[in-house]
Structure 1
Amino acid sequence: MVQLMVTPESSLADVPVWIQASGLTPFQQVTLYLSLTDEKGVKFESRAFYHANKAGVVDVKEACALGGDYSGVWPMGLFCTMKPDKMFHRLMKLDVMGSPFRVQINLFDSFVLLPSSKIVPLATCTVERWYAAPGLKRFPIKEGRVRGALFLPPGPGPFPGVIDMFGGSGGLIEFRAGLLASKGFAVLALAFFAYDDLPQFLTEIDLEYFEEATKLLLNHPMVRGPGLGVIGLSKGAEIALAMCTFLEQIVAVVCINGTTAMTGVPLYFRDIYIPAVPYSGEKLLVTDTGALTNYHVMGDPREEKHQASLIPLEKASGHVLFVIGEDDRSIHSKLFAEVSLARAKKYGKNNCTLLLYPGAGHLIEPPGSPLSNITLIRGAPKPIRWGGKPEPHAKAQEHSWKEIEKFFKLHLGPAGKSNL
Structure 2
Amino acid sequence: MSGTVTPILSVFPTRGLVDNKFKVMVENLPPGLPVTLHSLHQSEDKDYWEAYGHYVSDDRGTVTVSEDSSIGGTYTGKETMGLLWSMRPVPGSRTGLRMRKMDIRTPMVVLISVYRGHVVEGFRERLPMASVVTERWYMAPGVQRIDVREGGVRGTLFIPPGPGPFPGVLDMWGGGGGLVEYRAALLASHGYVSMALEYLSPDELGTDIGLSYFEKAFTIIQEHPLVISDRVGICGLSLGTAVTLTMAAYSNLISPRCCVCISGSHVLSISESVFVAFQEVNKNVHKVRVDEQNRMIWRDMILPIPSDPSKKVDVGRIKCPLLLVCGDDDQNWATVESAEDIAKMMRAAGNEHLLTTVTYHDAGHLIEPPYTPHIKASNFIVQHTRQKVVLLWGGETKPHADAQEHSWEKILAFLRQHLYPCPSSAPQAKL
TM-score normalised by the chain length of structure 1: 0.93
Structure 2 counterpart of 1:332: 334
Partner of 1:312: 314
**Residues 164/31 of structure 1: CA separation in 2 closer, same or farther (3 Å cut):** same
**How does 1:175-186 map onto structure 2 within 5 Å?**
175-186=182-193
Which residue identity does 2:340 align to in structure 1? E
| CA distance in 2 between partners of 1:101 and 1:253 (Å) | 29
Question: Structure 1 residues 229, 419: CA separation in 2 closer, same or farther (over 3 Å shift)?
Answer: closer
Q: Give aligned pairs, total.
A: 409
The match for 1:101 is: 108
Shift of 1:312: 0.8
Secondary structure of the residue aligned to 1:138 is strand
Deviations 1:185-229 (A, max 9, x none): 000101112177212x6xx65111111111111111011121411
Pair 1:297-2:301 in alignment:
yes
- 2:196 matched residue in structure 1: 189
Letter in 2 for 1:223: V
Query: Is 1:147 matched up with 2:154?
Result: yes
Q: Aligned residue for 1:124?
A: 131
Runs of 4 or more above 3 Å deviation: 115-118, 273-279, 414-420
Shift of the 96–196 alpha-carbon distance from structure 1 to 2, 3 Å rule, reads farther
Q: After superposition, give the CA deviation of every residue in 1:74-129 in whole Å (9 maximum; x if it has no partner).
A: 111111110123321111111112x1011001100002222355521111001100
1:320–1:352 Cα contact (<8 Å) kept:
yes
2:57 corresponds to 1:52: yes
Measured after TM superposition, the shift of residue 61 of structure 1 is 1.4
8 A Cα contact 1:147 1:196, kept in partner: no
**Are the counterparts in 1 of residues 165 and 228 from structure 2 also a CA contact under 8 Å?**
yes
Q: Which residue of 2 aligns with 1:344?
A: 346
Tell me the residue number matched to 1:258. Answer: 264
Structure 1: distance between partners of 2:289 and 2:67 = 42
Q: For the residues of structure 2 that align with 1:168 and 1:274, how far apart are their CA atoms?
A: 10
Task: State the one-letter code of the partner of 1:351.
Answer: L
Alignment of 1:331-410 (within 5 A): 331-349=333-351, 350-379=353-382, 380-410=387-417
* Structure 2 residue 16 is the aligned partner of structure 1 residue 14: no
Whether contact under 8 Å (1:15, 1:368) holds in the other structure is no
- The offset of 1:378, in angstroms, is 2.0
Q: Which position in structure 2 is the counterpart of 1:88?
A: 96
> What SS is found at the alignment partner of 2:25?
strand
Q: Does 1:207 align with 2:215?
A: no
3-state DSSP class of the match of 2:407? helix
Per the alignment, residue 245 of structure 1 pairs with 249
Give the aligned partner of residue 286 of structure 1. Answer: 290
Distance 1:52 1:294, change over 3 A: same
Give the residue type in structure 2 aligned to 1:318.
Answer: C
Query: Aligned to 1:87, what secondary structure does the other structure show?
Result: coil
The structural deviation recorded for 1:417 is 4.2
Whole-angstrom CA distance in 2 between matches of 1:274 and 1:346: 28
Query: Is contact 2:281–2:301 with CA below 8 Å preserved after alignment?
Result: no
Change in CA separation of 1:61 and 1:419 when aligned onto 2, cut-off 3 Å: closer
Query: What is the identity, as a one-letter code, of the residue corresponding to 2:101?
Result: K
Corresponding residue for residue 68 of structure 1: 73
Who is 1:233 aligned against? 237
CA gap of 1:332–1:108, structure 2 versus 1, over 3 A, is same
What one-letter code is carried by the residue in structure 1 that aligns with 2:196? A
**SS of residue matched to 1:241:** helix
Q: Distance in 2 between matches of 1:316 and 1:173?
A: 27
1:93 counterpart letter in structure 2: K
Cα separation, partners in 2 of 1:195 and 1:12, compared to 1, 3 Å: farther
Report the equivalent of 1:171. Answer: 178
Residue pair 2:267, 2:302 contacting (<8 A) in 1 also: no
Equivalent residue, structure 2, for 1:138: 145
Are the equivalent residues in 2 in contact too, given 1:171–1:195 (CA < 8 A)?
A: no
Distance (whole Å) between structure 1 residues aligned to residue 284 and residue 393 of structure 2: 18
The one-letter code of the counterpart of 1:169 is G
State the distance in 1 between where 2:8 and 2:333 align.
Answer: 46
CA distance in 1, matches of 2:20, 2:291: 35
Q: Give the superposition deviation at 1:236.
A: 0.3
Aligned partner letter, 1:60: V
Give the SS at the match of 1:375: strand
Counterpart of 2:329, as a letter, is D
The 1:376–1:307 alpha-carbon spacing in structure 2 relative to 1, beyond 3 Å, is: same
Q: What is the deviation of 1:277? A: 4.7
Structure 1 unpaired stretches of 5+: none
**Which 5+ residue runs of structure 2 have no aligned equivalent?**
1-5
**Partner AA of 1:338 in structure 2:** E
Q: Which moved more, 1:115-124 or 1:332-341?
A: 115-124
SS in 2 for 1:345: helix
3-state secondary structure, aligned to 1:48: strand
Partner Cα distance (2:363, 2:234) in 1:
22
Richer in helix (by share): 2
Q: CA-to-partner distance for each residue in 1:135-177, whole Å, 9 max, x for gaps?
A: 1101000001211000000111111000000000111100000
Contact 2:315 2:342 in 1 (8 A): yes
